[in-house]
Amino acid sequence: MINRSICVFPQFDNIEKINEVRKKYDSLHDLILPHISLVFPFTSSIVKEDLMKHIKEAVTDVSPFELTLKGITGNNNQYLFLNVKKGNDELIELHDRLYTGILKDFLNRNVSYVPHMTVGRINKKEQFEKVIDETKDFNYIFNTRISELTVEIIEEDEGSKIEFKIELM
């Protein structure tokens, strides 16, 4: 059984600003690069070739697209999200397409998919309110073009390694 996820790893000219926030508020900052999850972590015995085939078919007519992130908000009194301002519809479409076929049983239908980049996780409510206030002026704009999806293997220490990438055409 392999624990995987499918993500985009955006490349921004000013990504160090995201890394500064993550270093301060995200315990996983050293284990995984800034990313947007399309398929959340799932454990399966799906072989690499079958997963590659599924993803290629699911994204067959999806073109590269522009992505803009800006503004940090809170979610669930626990998570800090860097919000998607442009590219939201494309990310939702990728998410929906990927959770078909061999991945359909891994979809959690109790939660609506909201594209975002997690930049922090705070475990105490009173600390969470303070962090939301501390990040209210984080108004940097992050622009890039998304042209590939990445399948990562999540290791036991929660670190990740890239298994393969699929280019958008």
> What pLDDT, on the 0 to 100 scale, is given for residue 126?
85
Q: How many domains does the chain have?
A: 1
Residue 58 is part of a domain; what is its CATH number?
A: 3.90.1140.10
Residues 63-79: tens digit of each pLDDT: 999 999 999 999 888 99
Q: CA gyration radius for the chain?
A: 16
Residue 82 has pLDDT above 90, yes or no: yes
> What pLDDT, on the 0 to 100 scale, is given for residue 157?
84
Cα gap 5→96, rounded to integer Å = 14
The C-alpha angle 68, 132, 66, rounded to 5 degrees, equals 5
Whole-model pTM above 0.75?
Answer: yes
To the nearest whole percent, how much of the chain has pLDDT over 90? 88
Cα gap 73→94, rounded to integer Å = 23
Cα gap 102→49, rounded to integer Å = 12
> What pLDDT, on the 0 to 100 scale, is given for residue 77?
86
**Strand partners of residue 5:** 152
> What pLDDT, on the 0 to 100 scale, is given for residue 153?
96
Residues 93-115: tens digit of each pLDDT: 999 999 999 999 999 988 899 99
> What pLDDT, on the 0 to 100 scale, is given for residue 39?
98
Residues 110-155: tens digit of each pLDDT: 889 999 999 999 988 889 999 999 999 999 999 999 999 999 999 9
> What pLDDT, on the 0 to 100 scale, is given for residue 97?
98
Domain that holds residue 65: 2-167
pLDDT band at 89 (very low <50, low <70, confident <90, very high): very high
